[in-house]
């Protein structure tokens, strides 16, 4: 047998880390994994002592919120530069969300034309739309459904009222797909923002108070209760406070099927420490809060976090630099920092950061979204492979691939960087340049339900 | 020493039931409790072998929803005929709710003029009103605050949005008062009702489906989460499904201060069995559901029920007999059936029904609402005394004292009936006639917080 | 009606504390309780502003371990001087334990001749004895059964092997009586003591290490497991470490019926602080440990303690003053300190010490041992009444009534003292002198099972 | 690169099952795993559509209890015929147990001479022996320590008193090794057996009653409590009743490090159904009980079982066929039935039996005993490979390799059989004959602690 590609290095396999290993690729798949002298191959990529890891799976990307479907081009360039070979894109596309087979087809087409990385897709349901389309979308391969209890945009990112949420959860139950929620209570947030505006308290430090823990917990609790009543899998796409993770656990104890997702920035920034310096550059929703880091890391250690994502949003920084913090766009680019920053933070919190990284940002999200051939270095899987070189590296937003060129992490020193990324056997990032072509990426269907 | 009144009989004291006991009343208070030969007294009421119990405390009455403040006259006549010597009246008065000191004064005045029984009062806060008044109302003696997540009436019984609920809970926390919730999600209920109307499914059996368990759980969960975030005492004023009681327990395990109230009709009727016969006559909100009785009795046995109330609503039956079940008024009279029907149901579920009855309908609600001198036969307490004669008795709505003269319990045989009621030492019901005078009742302030 | 005795003062009733109250006694029972001007009576005892409390129930006394059955005389004199009107005596009598109807009769006779206070009785079963007698003993009124996993004396206080413990638990289950355990693993204790003796580590600070937490937990866990398997009520008569209380809770969660008793000295002394000063004078088994006070008080606050007792042992101090701590008798006199010291310790840990005192040392043990007319100031109960005068009082062992005249509490200042004790309506302690006569006390049978 | 051996077939990898896969072996290790066309190799073993699985790890074998150290010869022949490539041998060797470095060396030598399979070793500590040797044994590679609360033999398999158990647990804690317990209370078992003998109730159906659940729970609870107190890893080597698994979970909730092992026969036989037919042939300790199957399978589903073993004992059947069941040897051969019978039972209880089998009989025990290169088909691991052919196969004890030639499973039809076994790359069982040589097996040291 002869391989098209061999990648050598320190393999981070599901159950062990193996120096001096190799991955043998035939076509787009991992055909073999071995140690010792590598077999012959058309090409050899020798990573030396660097980590060879599965391509990462970002469970929450907003690639197409700003520039629309063409947004995949720059977003997936950024993804592969950050070691992410599959992103799960949110349905809140600009100008219209993914809620029909037609839009799914269009988005899959955009992936096929523009994307360098592979892309799985969330679907959604519009407020005035029947739930019949959900089965068709599931059949066509969407990985999950997404809803919001908060209106960020009336068409693209609307609030879904509770009656519709319940109806959608009931429709999702027999399909076996999770339903994710952007979990902020609209009434509390809007009233609090209005009150702060009225008092002219509009500087960045008022962002977190404007969206209090109460808003998050109320929305989370209500959604989990509806999931319990519907017998559906209710998923909270971002939790910014320890109480939220405890709440998910309590519903699990009641017999509910529910899960909790963490975003990497909640484990990195502290509003008390960083807000003055970063201002709107770290505005996300739900907000990064003060003094929550210890509790959130404890939740991670206690096994309450199902997976970790970037919640990458492709806003130009201009969108952030408004006189009032409340007018600034929420969301930050995160695809190029997710892996190196989380690796760095994990290393600061314990040994073997590479293993937790692979579990929480590759293996678990791949399983969650039913992407059977993603998230692991294992024989038969797609040859999505990332080389992570440990050692100090200063991250420069100016050098990023997302055409946004700003980041709250700008100038931070990480403990590692991505020096090569392969998507289905093809090198798409060589550590300096995106060498993959738009159109290499594919729409990945959910397989397991 | 000489007593003004002695009541003799089978005393149901807090920790024991004592045949051949007596209660010695001086003025309005219990001055002594004894056994054996009774001391001299101006008057003697000898109950023979009947139970002598503390006056009952109905923790949820809507006396003034229909006829306004004068409604206390007939409602409290009904109360004392049912053994209830203190009712805790909801704030949703007709035409305007109790949300200011002025209205509190007016309502207290109405109690003083019209009421035969004693009355504690819930306050509320209007949607557009500041929370400053809450401290003044607490100081003036309201027993608790009430809110609703569902609009029954735009002025009298409005939906309070979540931002206001949270604000009110935060204001209540330092006052130490519970905040009760009518717990139905408005969006789910309205959408479901609209859908059923559109399909012309408007007969009574569609009432329970129109307000599904999901609506109740979503509202309950959201409110409990806000209570947790606010550090306040969140109370659910009626739970119609076992899952709701489990939910309260889960929040308690998280450290929240929260409680759960049961209404007697949820432990008595089953929509599957009774709806065809009773129709709108058993329409209450949240609805009586199908096949929930076993789970609810189990919740009671498991100690998940803090107290049991009537949720008495003084609707004329005409208000119920509408072509569409959705136009029928919700709520049923319950003051004359609470004690005998719950006694009967408890007897069917175990021994010593008189002890559970006193605990759940006198002792516990009195403690919950901070009514220090109510709910127990104990020295120093108000001489609120009820004689309950066991033995079969057919309940006839035509003979009730509430001027409504209808009831879903009409014609049922109970195991006991109230043959005498004393309010603060004065006989107000002699088993056949209300002999107490309007104006005997008093506004009772919350004492303990 | 006319009372034989009226006691006036600040009544500590089950649910409230009432200044200016009175207890009316007819014969041996409380015939009435009142407030305000007291009725006429043959005798009046006016306690002024002092607490009038129920007679206390010591759930664990060893009155007859040393002097045999005549030991009741001095022990019960001490009891009433300490406010204890009922003691539950352990079965390990000198020279032979209470394990037959004959010995029960003899012990009841000794109570009738010697005792000033009332006495309930534990029974036991000898290692070589059938369990048939247990039903007869239960029928004859023993309050509970007692076993030990450690041999203190081969005949009087033997170790019961596990097969017998299981057989006894199975026999107790249908009788409804609790089976209490002296919970120390014999093998661990004996081996540890032997090892310390061999190393000549025999000074008092080696007492606690000689009976490690492990010995207590192993014995406790094994016994609870046998109780679970037998469907019996397993009771641990003394737990000296927080883990032990947690263990009882875990077995309760598994569905076992089990309970945990605390002795007052574990909540008062700390070996790290007091052992050097007191030496063998604070030798008890299981030992008072170092730095356990915080955890034990937390267990009390968490509701893990069913009741609190003295574990009074009537050893002359000579029995303690041995060259080796391991030869010193274990056990301390406690009847005259239980109430004032625990009141003082409760006051140091929170408000209203009188209420927790009455609950944990009167109401709860009376209910536990099925003593229906003990433990409460309530109408119909026995007129066991104690006057507790708050205010500083230095406790002097030289002034005690137990003919032992030593105590580890000697010279401590308490916040209260007992100034009068009535047993069934008769004054037996006037604050200075025991005025009750031997033979006034009675054997009290278990009533409730 | 060139492989020494390729095994092709349906690979059961840790996270997926892969048809058409291959394992490439170089020397004794798995050098590569692949799919599709296999690379060149010196030898090819093509399993077709049969499962290719990791060699199984039996966590509890008694190879040397009967015949002494030479017992490894027949026992490991039986092991490899049953797909077991590593067995963890108990220390209760005949005539003397493994409790010194000398005996460890002798046993390792016996493995090296006699064994076809690899062998990890338990150590133990004699009742009169210091614990100093434990560190040396751990250093020399024993995988765990074993104790018993029941004396099966005074020298070989003695009861360890609780003081020694505690001492041993404390010594084990810093070594990081688990301490396993044969968990039966000696007093209960001996007394019950004696009682049954006295009543001449000695037929096989009296075996289970002679060793009641109570005996198992008491011993288990006491040991877990000592482990908690010692901060050690306490392991229960066999639990025959659902309550035992619940108990381990409760101690885990208290913070104890403890684990629970299941033996395959407890999930297969039911005394109520099988004892009459099998008699002493299914005598094991703790006994197979009546009607426990449902509860034990539920414990397995609930994740309470850490791994599953055979508890293989190499008794000649003569040893079983005694007039009294109490004189019969306890223990059954199990190495050739463990994998096929458990596969069959798993298939009857759910889908994908091969995955649960690999997890519970390979992956988990290998991790538990720190055998880093065992229990998984993964690159770098030892090339311990088993081919399991599904399809009906009647098991015949007469054809077994253990020189015992009896089994309670004799004549049962299984859903699969082992058609090839490789130990470190060498074929040792070809489906019909043991082709491996004594001396191929090695002593495997614990690596991870
Ligand atoms: Zn979001
Ligand atoms: Zn998002
Ligand atoms: Zn309501
Ligand atoms: Zn109501
Ligand atoms: Zn003791
Ligand atoms: Zn004792
Ligand atoms: Zn064993
Ligand atoms: Zn074994």
Per-residue pLDDT at C253: 84
**In D, which residues are within 8 Å of A16 by CB distance?**
378, 380
Q: Which residue of C has its CA nearest to D195?
A: C163
The model's confidence at residue A1, banded by pLDDT at 50, 70 and 90, is low
Q: Do chains C and B touch (3 or more CB pairs under 8 A)?
A: yes
Q: What is the mean pLDDT of each run of 10 residues along chain D (449 residues)?
A: 92 93 97 93 97 98 92 97 98 96 98 98 96 97 98 96 98 98 98 98 97 98 98 98 96 94 98 96 97 97 96 92 95 97 97 96 98 96 98 97 95 98 98 97 89
The separation between the first and the last C-alpha atoms of chain C, rounded to the nearest angstrom, is 35
Query: Count of CB contacts below 8 A, A vs D?
Result: 76
- Joined tokens for residue B149: 């997540």
Task: Tell me which chain C residues have a C-beta less than 8 angstroms from the C-beta of B21.
Answer: 379-380
Question: Using CA atoms in the order D400, D401, D407, D409, what is the torsion angle rounded to 10 degrees?
Answer: -50
Q: A31 to chain D: which residues are within 8 Å by CB?
A: 34-36
Q: Taking a contact as any Cβ pair under 8 Å apart, which residues of chain C between 155 and 194 contact chain D?
A: 161-164, 166, 185, 187-188, 190-192
pLDDT digits (tens, 9 = 90+) for D258-274: 999 999 999 999 999 99
Burial class (CB in 10 A: 0-12, 13-18, 19+), A65: buried
Q: Tell if the CB–CB gap between C219 and D219 is shorter than 8 Å.
A: no
Which residues fall inside 5 Å of ion ligand 3, going by CB? B 182
Q: What confidence score (pLDDT) does residue B67 get?
A: 85
Q: Give buried/exposed letters for B175-198 (b at 16+ CB in 10 A, else e).
A: bebbbbbbbbbbbbbbbbbeebbe
- Mutate which: B130, B151, B162, vs A, most A CBs within 10 A: B162
**pLDDT for residue C153:** 94
Q: Which of D221, D234, D244, D249 to mutate to test the interface with C (most CBs of C within 10 A)?
A: D221
Kindly determine whether residue D34 and residue A29, on different chains, have CB atoms separated by under 8 Å.
no
pLDDT of residue B1: 62
Whether D31 contacts chain A with CB within 8 A: yes
For residue C354 the two structure tokens come to 């009188």
**Residue D1: predicted pLDDT:** 62
User: Under DSSP, is residue B245 helix (H, G, I), strand (E, B) or coil?
Assistant: helix
The mean pLDDT of A189-210, rounded to a whole number, is 97
Core vs surface per residue D236-268: b (16+ CB within 10 A) or e: bbbbbbbbbbbbbbbbbeeebebbbbbbbbbbb
As given in the structure block, the two tokens for residue D25 are: 């072996």
Nearest ligand atom owner, CA of C60:
6
What are the two backbone dihedrals, phi and then psi, of residue B332, each rounded to the nearest 5 degrees?
-135, 155
Strand partners of residue A148 = A182
Asked whether the predicted pLDDT for residue A122 surpasses 90, the reply is yes
- Class of domain C56-368 as given by CATH: alpha beta
Contacts of residue C31 in chain B, CB cutoff 8 Å? 34-36
CATH (residue range D3-52+381-391+412-429): 2.30.40.10
pLDDT at B314 (0 to 100) = 83
Task: Kindly report the nearest CA distance between residue A356 and chain B, in angstroms.
Answer: 28
Can you list the alpha helix ranges (DSSP code H) found in B122-264? Answer: 132-140, 162-175, 186-198, 207-210, 213-230, 242-253
Low-confidence ranges of chain C (pLDDT < 50): none
- How far apart CA C316 and CA B373 sit, in angstroms, is 51
pLDDT at A116: 98
From C198's Cα to the closest Cα of chain D, the distance in A is 16
Whether D212 has its CB under 8 Å from any CB of chain C: the answer is yes
Packing angle, helices A213-230 and A186-198, rounded to 10: 170
How confident is the model over B135-164, as pLDDT tens digits? 999 999 999 999 999 999 999 999 999 999
Mean pLDDT of the residues in chain D: 96
d(CA C93, CA C121): 11
Q: Does C213 contact D at CB distance below 8 Å?
A: yes
CA of C349 to the centre of ligand 6 (A): 26
Same fold, D3-52+381-391+412-429 and D56-368: no
Residue A426 has pLDDT above 70, yes or no: yes
d(CA A263, CA A277): 21
Q: Are D99 and D110 in contact (CB under 8 A)?
A: no
Q: Give D268 Cα–ligand 5 centroid separation in angstroms.
A: 45
Contact (CB, 8 A) for B382 and B29: yes
- Which residues of D fall within a CB distance of 8 Å from A10? none
Pick from B29, B33, B37: CB nearest C379? B33
Domain limits, chain D: 3-52+381-391+412-429, 56-368
Q: Do chains D and C touch (3 or more CB pairs under 8 A)?
A: yes
Measured between CB atoms, which of C18, C24, C38 is closest to B34?
C24
Percent above pLDDT 70 for chain C: 99
Chain C residue numbers with beta carbons less than 8 Å from the beta carbon of D212 are 166, 229
Mutate to test the interface with A, among B147, B188, B214 (most CBs of A within 10 A): B214
Q: Does A178 or A255 have the greater pLDDT score?
A: A178
Q: Is D336 strand, coil or helix? A: coil
Tokens at A406, concatenated:
């700003």
Which pLDDT score, from 0 to 100, does residue C314 have? 83
Task: List the one residue out of C336, C389, C375, C413 whose CA is nearest residue C49.
Answer: C389
What is the CATH T-level fold of the domain B55-368, as seen in this structure?
TIM Barrel (3.20.20)
When CB atoms are compared, the residue of C13, C33, C39 closest to B1 is C39
Q: Which pLDDT does position C1 carry in this prediction? A: 63
Residue numbers in chain B where pLDDT is lower than 50? none
- Does D391 contact A at CB distance below 8 Å? no
Stretch A45-62: mean pLDDT, rounded?
A: 98
Nearest CA in chain C to B24: C34
**Do the Cβ atoms of C191 and D163 come within 8 Å?**
yes
Question: Which architecture characterizes domain C3-52+381-429 according to CATH?
Answer: Roll (2.30)
A273 torsion bin: left (phi>0), alpha (psi -120 to 50), beta (else): alpha
pLDDT band at A248 (very low <50, low <70, confident <90, very high): very high
Query: How far, in Å, from the CA of D142 to the mean position of ligand 8?
Result: 17
Nearest beta carbon to residue A187 from set B161, B225, B251: B161
Chains touching chain A through at least 3 C-beta pairs below 8 angstroms are B, D
In the reported structure, the alpha carbon of residue C124 is separated from the centroid of ligand 6 by a whole-number distance in angstroms of: 13
The rounded distance, in Å, linking the Cα atoms of B160 and B166 is 10
Q: Which tokens go with A192?
A: 């609090």
Q: Is there a contact between C56 and C83 (Cβ–Cβ < 8 Å)?
A: yes
């Amino acid at each position: 047998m002869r391989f098209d590609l061999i990648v050598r290095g320190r393999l981070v396999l599901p159950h062990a880390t193996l120096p001096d290993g190799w991955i043998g690729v035939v076509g787009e798949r991992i055909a073999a994994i071995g140690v010792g002298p590598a077999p012959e191959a058309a090409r050899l990529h020798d990573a030396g002592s660097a980590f060879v890891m599965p391509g990462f799976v970002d469970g929450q990307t907003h690639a197409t919120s700003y520039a629309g479907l063409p947004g995949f081009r720059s977003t997936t360039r950024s993804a592969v530069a950050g070691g992410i070979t599959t992103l799960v894109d949110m349905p809140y596309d600009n100008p219209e969300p993914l809620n029909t087979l037609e839009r799914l087809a269009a988005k899959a087409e955009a992936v096929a034309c523009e994307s360098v990385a592979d892309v799985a897709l969330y679907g959604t349901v519009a407020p005035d739309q029947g739930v019949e389309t959900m089965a068709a979308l599931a059949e066509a391969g969407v990985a999950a459904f997404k809803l919001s209890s908060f209106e960020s945009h009336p068409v693209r990112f609307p609030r879904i009222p509770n009656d519709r949420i319940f109806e959608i959860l009931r429709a999702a139950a027999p399909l076996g797909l999770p339903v994710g929620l952007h979990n902020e209570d609209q009434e509390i947030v809007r009233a609090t923002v209005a009150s702060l505006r009225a008092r002219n308290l509009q500087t960045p430090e008022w962002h977190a108070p404007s969206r209090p823990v109460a808003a998050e917990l109320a929305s989370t609790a209500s959604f989990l209760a509806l999931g319990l009543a519907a017998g559906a899998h209710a998923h909270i796409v971002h939790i910014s406070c320890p109480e939220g993770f405890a709440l998910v656990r309590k519903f699990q104890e009641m017999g509910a099927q529910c899960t909790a997702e963490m975003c990497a920035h909640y484990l990195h920034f502290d509003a008390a420490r960083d807000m003055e310096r970063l201002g709107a550059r770290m505005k996300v929703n739900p907000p990064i809060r003060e003094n929550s880091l210890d509790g959130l890391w404890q939740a991670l250690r206690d096994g309450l976090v199902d997976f970790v994502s970037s919640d990458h949003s492709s806003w130009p920084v201009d969108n952030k630099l408004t006189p009032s913090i409340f007018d600034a766009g929420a969301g930050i680019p995160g695809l190029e920092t997710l892996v190196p920053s989380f690796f760095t933070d994990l290393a600061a919190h314990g040994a073997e950061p590479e293993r937790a990284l692979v579990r929480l940002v590759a293996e678990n999200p791949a399983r969650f979204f039913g992407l059977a051939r993603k998230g692991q270095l294992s024989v038969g899987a797609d040859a999505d492979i990332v080389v992570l070189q440990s050692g100090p590296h200063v991250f420069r937003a100016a050098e990023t691939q997302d055409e946004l060129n700003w980041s709250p992490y700008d100038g931070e020193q990480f403990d590692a960087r991505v020096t090569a990324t392969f998507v289905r056997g093809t090198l798409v990032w060589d550590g300096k340049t995106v060498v993959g072509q738009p159109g290499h990426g594919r729409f990945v269907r959910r397989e397991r339900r």
